[in-house]
Structure 1
């Protein structure tokens, strides 16, 4: 189980005069600080898939980066199975599998070598690595390109390797930032099937998306963020009830709440 309470993060703005008119109108801009995330809370229990929704610039990626310990929050708490992971980032990285918005593969390495490198960072033995990569290659349909240099991969190939790299150490929680963006239909279905497999294993999964059909197909819970604030966090059924079963309507309704 992962529980997030009251996360907040602000960034300094070196020169506010250089901001666009839209950026200057954002209520989160206060003096020389932009409060990207003001107050975000959400929960995801074992075997649940949580869809994180919000408009562009809402603070979703900043929230996910704080969960992964890539960013240190100004306030708030993150616990995984009762352990406060913010106080010990090393423990957090063992417990969390994180896919960022950018695959960030080493182009001169093969797909297998990219995954092996991160597996070794997690202290896995060569035997464990070989067995785990074989399993992931089967689940993510990577056998045809796994030993090619990743600089020549398609977007879908890169994303599959990046996902495998993120979960090679069998983490307790998996966090995916828009995992299907830019993928074709076949690659998207492979990724969605992989997420279903994590759910069957009892692994909590948090993933951000702009595709409401993915939410309908996969999610048990929904969390909505707008302008750095939590607007909704609850079961999918409760979310759809905001607008008589319409996910699109429910999303718009949740954004309007509190305004």
Structure 2
């Protein structure tokens, strides 16, 4: 494969993909070393902020457990992303795709819970059950019916797009009430949308290592820190507001 690519480069011909993948130079047996590295760094960001969430967000704040769950879901997703980019097998591909779908759905779950102030345990449990049923149906279809790449992209895209719309609406609603940070969810949505363009405007790996998909993974590293900082600040504001509300009632 690399001999064919070298001949293509020497004769100024285009590099082609093999079964939908670019040819990469391996490192210690890893098929896509740059994507492995950036997946690991993404996972580390979530690990790093888990301890900050535990320390800075009050135990009384009802969203704390969901933010911790989100951190673990994302760590799991990036772990399997690193494994999949290390060695591409049907099993590692499925675990990568399923873990990513779960983290996207969990993000949608906690976003809906936070933005619409769902407090009733019965309502939250019912909503969580619906989300889990959606996830299991997604996994069942891809496992036992058809491993459909187009369907997977569309399904995750719909959930992710809905999640983004909710935060855009929240930014618009709180633009004047919280001018210091209401812009942050909107900025995050714009940033991640622009970064996703790397997946559309694909190109052969530079030096046989760095391709558009790897850069997409690299771009989400600073976004994780930016997003967690917003959630922590938002939790502080909401906790203070709730405390003042209780004091007025008492």
> When the two structures are superposed, what TM-score results if normalisation uses the length of structure 1?
0.27
Q: From the two aligned structures, give the one with the greater helix fraction.
A: 2
Q: TM-score normalised to the size of structure 2?
A: 0.28
Q: Find the structure with the greater CA-based Rg.
A: 2
Larger strand proportion of the pair: 1
